Amino acid sequence: MPETLIVVESPTKVKTIKKYLGADYEVRASMGHIKDLPRKTIGIDLKNNFEPEYQIIDAKKKVVSEMKKTAKSIRNIYLAPDPDREGEAIAWHIAQEIGSKNKQIKRILFNDLTKNTVLEALRHPHDLDVNKYEAQQTRRILDRLVGYKISPLLWEKVKRGLSAGRVQSVTVRMICEREEAIKNFIKEEYWNILATLEGENPPSFDARLIKIDGKKAKLENEKETRGLLSELEQSAFIVSEIDKKEIKRNPPPPFTTSKLQQESFRWLRFSAKKTMTVAQKLYEGIELGDEGSVGLITYMRTDSVRVASEAINEARKYITENYSGAYLPTKPKTYKNSATSQDAHEAIRPSSMSFRPQDIKKHLTADQFRLYELIWNRFVASQMNPATFDQTTIDIKAGRCLFRVQGSIMTFDGYMTLYKEGKDENGGENHGGAAKQVNGNGEEYGSAKTLPELSTGERLNLIKLTPEQKFTQPPPRFTEATLVKELEEKGIGRPSTYATILSTIQDRAYVTLEKGRFSPTELGVLVTDLLVKNFPHIMDIEFTAALENKLDSIEEGKLKRIDTLDEFYRAFEEELKQAKSEMRNIKREETPTDYVCDKCQSPMVMKWGRNGRFIACSNYPDCKNTMNVPSEDASGQRNGEEAIDVKCSECGHPMVIKQGRFGRFLGCSNYPECKNTMAINTGVPCPKEKCDGFLTQKTTKRGKVFYGCSRYPACKFATWDHPINENCPNCGAKILVEKVTNRGATKKVCLNKDCGFKAEA
């Protein structure tokens, strides 16, 4: 008969823990939360200190009943949900349901699920943490107040089914503001000049203009640039300074949650949600043959880079046994947490160095192996010596101008033998794991140009001067990695919430994720605009971050739940009252258009319905004629705007852009009376010889866009890349295409593989 009951969250943990303990222990799973606020009422007593009214979740009633039955005959009960606020709330709710005066209920925490950790936790149980529970309750009540009070307002003013979230709505605002910045961005022209030079010793090399008259070089147009080129052609190029030094690059610390999500996106193309799902499984336990179920990593929700000394010693021992002595630092490496870190748990690391990724690969899925290897490599690398580079910087005077060239050669790979950080270069993203490491000059470490032996005062031979026309680029749209990074830097959300935030804003159709980048939907922009104007506190980024800090203070026992909720609600209630009377009623708004109803000749107006915007007759309800709206992206740019003026060849009505199974197409606005359709013409002729077709945008069955000839199947020309109606200046090919490089730049490229033409788009 078991003498002790241990309650965990996940059934996977049950299997892992049971193998460490004997028959005296009964292990049960709560399957997550067992209680929550009611679904159909607010569930918060606003007149009684915001007291929450928790109910057992319907789907968990059987779980709770069985837990109570098991606990009846057991005196010692250990509650072991996850070691965070949500886990603490689960523990408190379980204690409320199965506790009694004759029961000894204690809390135990597992940072990882190894035998030593489980046994050590059982030796040191402690009381439930009321402050952590209070912090979780405060967050839950805040979220319920915002969602329950604002959502019905959106139903009334915009459409039913909409919802608002305290943190999610602020995240959507960040995406909308980035889109607005892109929309309003005005490109500015600037020019670079490269000088191809050679000295007494080979090879030749390119140096870049960096200063004019002692100030940072700034060339704004071609005329100014051509004038300087004429001047430089008459100038002597003299080596003015040579700087050689050793550069060290230190290893990054082991993973926090946000850094794991960022790096797994950059290297593995995992979404934040997928990263956390796979990590959860690695933490809870994997069946490793004779070893049974083993928890392979420490707890994966953390903002700390702290590592237990035992784990550091294990890593150092592993480095000693598997690498030369040059890779092991004299002293163990330690890392400092950020000022806002809670440091409740260790960094994410392997729970034991006994399970090398390659040794257990056969027991893991492909995704589990890749993420585990990433965590393993980052942790081991964090205890290795720095990588070193010999860096040479050469300055060259030419009249009133200064040119510079820099080269670096890796002299010792150090931690880079095992791990390299991915970078969002120039706001770009790294496709297919092509993450790179760049130095402060934007050059990739260890791959810079080879420089010749030069001496100070040496006169160089000018081979050629190359002007480069450039344009400033707008800020990039957020990827999952850069959005998580932005949330962390601004203090929005916490490690346990990033993945949920990113999933929720997509599920609510406020944003879309296309080609790895977030864009707001028309609905997202509309709702955000309404919320920002009517709930400035709720939608303020600094206010939201400050509220997160208050939750942390409640957990630390420095603030009271009631005081925090009361302060919040007083300001919120005022905004709510004002919004009910002053918020725009989108449902009732009618925007005039240039269209005339073809049934009654009344003007057509733009309206908003449950499926978005549409055009309807102003003579409603006497006339119920409607038509689709030509689609727009979030910036207001009409997709395929040339199609708006196209008339239907069958009935003469305007054609509108529609979305079908195989991509966008033009459909008659008089549908269903007229079912005429046309392909969207890109304006680019088909490059095939003797073909008079044009290229149209199409979509594969899996949703991938490509461009094919309008005369298909007679002509089967197709390309994945966006076509440009320009002849190749190099080989004369009929069209060029746009390609996006790994650094996020757009290039014009010739499709002729033997040509190789490339230029800035």
- Identify the three-state secondary structure at position 286: strand
- Identify the three-state secondary structure at position 419: coil
> Which two tokens mark 265?
């996106």
Half-sphere exposure of residue 279, counting CA atoms within 13 Å on the CB side? 28
* Best CA proximity match to 489, nearest among 302, 344, 269, 303: 303
CA distance 510 to 45: 31
User: What is the DSSP annotation of 195-217?
Assistant: EEEE-SSS--EEEEEEEETTEE-
User: How many residues belong to the chain?
Assistant: 761
Contact by Cβ (8 Å): 350, 259: no
Tokens 């002595």 belong to 325
Q: Report the run of H or E that residue 34 belongs to, with start and end.
A: none
Contact by Cβ (8 Å): 615, 628: yes
For the chain, what percentages of helix, strand and coil (3-state, to nearest 5) are there? 35, 25, 40
User: What is the DSSP annotation of 572-625?
Assistant: HHHHHHHHHHHS--GGG--EEEEEE-TTT-PEEEEEEETTEEEEEETTTTT---
Catalytic residue check, 595: no
Instruction: Tell me the β-bridge partners of 471.
Output: 189
CA distance 78 to 106: 5
Contact by Cβ (8 Å): 557, 564: no
CA distance 662 to 252: 45
> Which two tokens mark 89?
């709330």
CA distance 293 to 551: 36
Q: Could you say which of 20, 25, 78, 299 is catalytic? A: 299
- Identify the three-state secondary structure at position 2: coil
Give me the active site residues, please.
Answer: 299
